[in-house]
Structure formats: structure tokens, C-alpha cells
Homo-oligomer: A and B are copies of this chain.
Amino acid sequence: MDISVIGASGDVGTETVNQLLAGRVLTPSERLQLVGRVEGKSSSKLFGLQSDLSDAYAEVTPELEVVLTPEKIRGDIVILAIGAPVTAPNQTRNDLARLNLPVFRRYAQAIAAHGNGQELVLVVSNPVELAVEVFSQYLGRHRVIGVGGYSDSLRFRREIAHDLGVRRQLVHAFVVGEHGDNMIPLWSSVRIFGRNEAQAVADVARLRGERVTARFPAEVGEHRTAVMECLRQGRVREAFERVDQLPADLRVVLRPYITNLSGAKTSIATANVIVDLVRPLVEGREVVVCGQVRLDGELSDLHVPVGVPVVVDARGWAQVVPLEFWADEAQLLAIAAEGLRERIRDWLGVQADESALYTP
């Protein structure tokens, strides 16, 4: 299988390529495309990166190719990691949407026109839901998956495992909805291997504390303000310590903010999640993961790109895995989805002149 990483000269793209090679995900007879732009420093950096990687992994490296025009993308799996990351404190998802929408369209169009009709696109770029919407329109929605929900779900499992003092692998949990501040960590989905139903209920109650699902978005907002104030004063360590005191679901949302603004970014963990998802696909497995997909009524009558558990293999996602929400979680999801639907409409409207490109 061949893989193309769009945005390979960016932090996440470079680290993704690095981990794909270090983890020997591809064999020497397969191809890894480093996709970037002709303009700016991107192309110089890609040729340098190609040289650095060839040097580092000479013995196990697949064919490495620098690609500067979208029409030459040939990966069976395409990782979309291009576009500005969510780093600047005051940058909004609206700003990102405005910047990245033409980029998303440019690549989606090129793959639709020049690809083999079977590529699987894994979306890292933000706003992930906008990218999923755009690529789904061009390629068909079953071949497009956002990794935000997978990443958030793994983080939620780690935070719960930490509180329980067990290994992450023993914890099952999903984070659904929008990636970012509006994500919904589903306490109803928490299962702990080795603990029976009653014990798990008690565990969740203890970890969660006396809190109300409906207030979760407000809680996120309050704590984010406090954390941002810390960061503005350069007190990174204190910001981490403050977040360490919060319940697991709030930590999932807030810790990546600090890491991203500390000067270190979250590139390594993000790349790790991508490779963790790509590996079973390359091995020919079918797995159940939480990812942003363009629903068309499969769950709660939603018709937006939203994070839900789906069955995935290298050909794409096939079916949504049924979830038994709590009522207040379902309500929160409905609200989030409605907000998302409007925002995507606005984002797409901004560039109404280009929307003629769409062939839905």
C-alpha cells in the first residue's frame, strides 16, 4: 500500500512521516509521498527531509517521493495534515476555516479527478469537520475519516486509566461530537476490563464527581479561561498542575491546549495516533474506532460530520456502531451537531463563489 502525507513539511506531517518509517509500517517496495507546496520554504524543506529520512532509515525505507502538485498524489491512504494548526491563543476555528477551506478544496478536487477512486483519506487538519465535509463531497463520504475523535477517545481512556491506576488498554471509552472545545466525552461508554457492571458504575461516579452533563461546555469554558491566563504569564508548569486537578473529561479537552502553547506542540502524540490507526489498516484488519465521518442519518438522525464509532478497514468506514447514550449526552450531541451544521454552512458560504466546484 502506498501512503501520501499532505503537508509533510509541517510539524505534524514531518513527525507522521518519521513515525511511519521508524515503525516500519511500509515495506521497501511501497511508496511514501511527501506532499507540499511549490511556494515558500515547503519544497526546500521537503527535499531536506527526504535526505534526512533516507539517511536515518536507509535500510528499511520505502520509496520516498517529494510531490509538489496535488494531481500527482497516488497514495492508497492519504493523510491530510496541511494547514495552520490550532496554536495561537486568539485564533478561532473560524479563522482556520477561512484559511484552510481553499486548500481542502484544492486537494479534494485533485484526488477526485486524478486518483484511482479508492483512496482512504484520514483528516488531521482543522477544522476537521469542515475537511471531512469537503472531501466527502468530492470522494464519497465512506472514504473520509477525521482522526480527532480517535485521538480524543484515546486521551479520555488514558486519563481514566490514570485515575484508576490501571493500564490504558483496560479502559474502553468514546469521545463523540466535534473535535475541540465542543467534544463530548461519553461517561456512558466507559467500561473497565476486569471490573463488573456495578463496579464500573461506582468507578464512573467517583471519577466524574457530582457534575451535570449539560454544564460540561460551560465548565470547559471556565477552566480554559483560567489556564489561558496562566499561559499568558508564562507559567506553563502551573498550568499543567492546575489541569491535573480536574476530572478526566475536562483534562482531555484542556491538556492539549497547554502542550500546544508551551513551545512543544502535540505533534508527537498526534502522529502517534495516526500511525496507530494506519497500522491495522495496512495490516488488512477491520477495526472499530471513533472518527469524524459525514453522517447521513445513521445515528440520532444527524446529517453532519461528527465523531462516532465506526467499523473501518483500508476501503473506508462501513457502518456506525450503535451507541446507548444517556439522555443528557444525546441532548448535548444534538445541540453540538446543530451548531456545527450552522458553522459549516457559514464556512462554506464564505466562499460561495467556489462552491460551484462541488459535484455532490
Name the B residues within 8 Å of A272 (CB-CB). Answer: 55-57
Residue from B22, B171, B193, B259 within 8 A of A52 (CB atoms): B259
* CB contact list, A235-249 vs B, under 8 A: 236-237, 240
Q: Which residue from chain B places its CB closest to the CB of A238 in the assembled complex?
A: B47
State the CA gap A98–B56 with chains docked (Å).
30
Copies of this polypeptide in the complex? 4
Whether, in the assembled complex, A89 has its beta carbon less than 8 Å from a beta carbon of chain B, the answer is no
Name the B residues within 8 Å of A58 (CB-CB). Answer: 158, 161, 168
Name the B residues within 8 Å of A259 (CB-CB). Answer: 48, 51-52, 55
A126-144: contact bitstring with B at CB < 8 Å (1 yes, 0 no)? Answer: 0000000000000000000
CB–CB B193/A118 < 8 A: yes
CB–CB B264/A51 < 8 A: yes
CB–CB A168/B284 < 8 A: yes
CB–CB B47/A268 < 8 A: no
Q: What is the CB-to-nearest-CB distance from A69 to chain B, in angstroms, rounded to a whole number?
A: 15
CB–CB A47/B237 < 8 A: yes
Q: Which of A176-184, A307-315, A336-344 contacts B (4 or more CB under 8 A)?
A: A307-315
A47 with B286: in contact, given A158-B55, A193-B118, A194-B116 (CB under 8 Å)?
no
Among A170, A261, A262, the most chain B Cβ lie within 10 Å of the Cβ of A262
**Extra pairs beyond A48-B258, A311-B311 (10, CB < 8 Å):** A1-B169, A43-B237, A45-B264, A48-B261, A51-B255, A53-B268, A172-B313, A172-B315, A311-B321, A319-B322
- Interface pairs A-B: 7 shortest CB-CB: A48-B262, A48-B264, A169-B284, A286-B288, A55-B269, A45-B263, A56-B272
